[in-house]
Each structure stands twice: as structure tokens, then as C-alpha cells.
Amino acid sequence: MCRIRAKITRGSMASERVAYFTSAAGETIEVILSPSQVGKDHIVASELARDSGCVLIELPQETSSGDWRVWVKRDQLLAM
Amino acid sequence: MILTDREILTSLEHGQIVIQPVPDPVRFSSTSVDLCLSNVIRVWDFDQVEKTKGEVITPGAEFNYEKFRAKYTKKVVVDKSKGYVLAPDAFVLGWTKELLVLPNHSRIAARVEGKSSLARLGLAVHVTAPTIHAGFEGPIQLEMCNLGPVSIRLTPDMPICQLIFEQTFGTPAKGYSGQFKKQKR
């Protein structure tokens, strides 16, 4: 597991949180998660692979743009 | 049993599943792989529908789907920069960009399902026919319908559906030889 730096906002339902984080390509990624899947400033994801300064993560839910897996820069990871 | 990402990759390496082109690593999830939309769709020819108003289709042994499709639909090659705008309640046929082969001996079948990010917008990608039988070869036809109130732009190469692979219990006596084997766009 790993923690990815993210901006967390309230969702349209009390059971939802909307997280925004930055992909390795510089895009802002939006994903709707449950409160247990986020912290104050991060989301929890699974780390799958590393490649030249980037980490491939798998999210607990599909992003708004339809991805489960996203490359992020290594400096977006927070210590566990 | 549903194949996990690792089992899907192993099956791809051994030719037990063939997907061409091979999906990028980010297209996988823990138990599925996303496929993308091709640039070909078929839309209803409403002039023809109007001309034959009152005609009733009788599905069955005498029914020829290819003739029906040729008569009532038009092929559209979608420009990637413009996409195709699917209006509310519109229904079109699309295909995956990828070709799928499930060799009979692999004992693997699959289901094509929608993606939650698109389902939330109202986009359905099949009309109650998600099964990809063992022995199937071809691009996957998608019956796409916009059930939402807002138009949706469909763009070639966008992730459009997900495939879930399942191992069959035993080897089928006969591979899939239905009318959609080796279907073309």
C-alpha cells in the first residue's frame, strides 16, 4: 500500500470524498472514494511498479476519466 | 473463477488470450482490462427507417442480421479530433479497437462490461449481451446507448469497456461458431 498526496473535498453524498491528485503526465486526476480510502491530504492506493522516478498505482475506484491505474511521480508519495 | 491481472498477463504471454494491440499496463485493473473504442461506428439511417415505417422485424431462423444492419445503418468513420456526439436516447453500434481471440483450448470465456466512469454519465455499452464465448475471434461489438440527459462525446481510442475473463470448467466440445465469430466493423 502507499499514500498519494491529494486534495480531498466532500462529495455529493456524505459517504463520498472527491480526491484530486496529479499524474506523472501533469494531469489532474479526479476520483470519488469512500472516507475510509482517504486521509486529510492523501489517498490510499496500491503500488504496482516503479520506473524512472515514477510509480504505477492502482486506485480503489475508477477515476472520472476511466482509469484504475495511474503513473504518478515518486515525490507524490507520502511516507506510510 | 475470474482471472486476476497477473493471470491475464500470463495468458497473454502464452497466447491463451490474444488482444491486439496489447493493452497498455495502465489499462489493467486487478480483475479486468479496459479496451478502447475504434474509429468506426454504425448509426441508424433514419431516412431508411422513415421509408419503411411500419415494418416489423421478426427475429428467428429466417432473419438475416447482416442484411438488416446494411439496410438500416450507416458506417461512420469518426474523426479523432471531433469525436461522435451521442445524443440522449441515441443508440449506435461501435467496436473495440482491439481484436480479441479466445482459443477454444484455453478454456477461457469473458464478459464485456461498462466502465463506472461512463455508466455514471448514462452510457451503456451493451444491451444485455455481455458474453464472449470461448472460441471467439474478432473485435467486440458494443451496443451503445446514452441513457442520460446530456450528450456524450465518443472519441476513438477512449477506454470504453472492460473485459472480465473467466476460466471455464472443462473444455468446450465445440468452440464458438456463432454468427458473430470473426465479426467485422
pLDDT, residue B105, reads: 87
Q: Given a cut of 70, is residue B176 above it in pLDDT?
A: no
Do residues B95 and B185 make contact, with C-beta atoms less than 8 angstroms apart? yes
Chain A residues close to B161, C-beta within 8 Å: none
Asked if the C-beta of A69 comes within 8 angstroms of chain B's C-beta atoms, the answer is: yes
Residue B173 maps to a domain: no
Please name the residue of chain A whose CA is at the shortest distance from the CA of residue B160.
A66
Put simply, whether B9 touches A (Cβ < 8 Å) is: no
B13 is catalytic: no
Q: What is the CATH number of the domain that holds B151?
A: 2.70.40.10
DSSP B79: P
Q: Do A62 and B116 make contact, defined as CB atoms within 8 angstroms?
A: yes
Residue at B183 is within a domain: no
pTM, to two decimals? 0.85
Interface test with B, best of A18, A68, A72 (most B CBs within 10 A): A68
- Domain-located, residue B176: no
From the list B169, B158, B161, B180, the residue with the least C-alpha distance to B39 is B158
Size of interface A-B (CB pairs under 8 A): 33
CA distance B161 to B164: 10
> pLDDT category, A80, cuts 50, 70, 90?
confident
Separation of alpha carbons A45 and B87, rounded Å = 36
Q: Is residue B42 part of a domain?
A: yes
- Reported ipTM: the value is 0.72
Number of domains in chain B: 1
Predicted confidence (pLDDT) per residue in A16-42, tens digit:
999 999 999 999 999 999 999 999 999
Domain region containing B42: 5-167
- For chain B, give me the number of helices (H) and strands (E)? 4, 11
Tell whether B57 is covered by a domain: yes
Q: Report which of B27, B96, B23, B123 is spatially closest to residue A67, judged by C-alpha positions.
A: B27
- Are B117 and A65 a contacting pair at CB < 8 A? yes
Residue B182 lies in a domain: no
- Residue B33: inside a domain, yes or no? yes
Question: Does residue B77 fall inside a structural domain?
Answer: yes
A27 touches chain B (CB under 8 A): no
Q: Nearest CB to B29: which of A49, A56, A58?
A: A58
Which of the residue ranges B8-17, B40-49, B121-130, B164-173 would you say has the lowest mean pLDDT? B164-173
Do residues A80 and A3 touch, judged by C-beta distance below 8 A? yes
Q: How confident is the model at residue B177 (pLDDT cuts 50, 70, 90)?
A: low
Assign B153 a pLDDT band (cuts: 50, 70, 90): very high
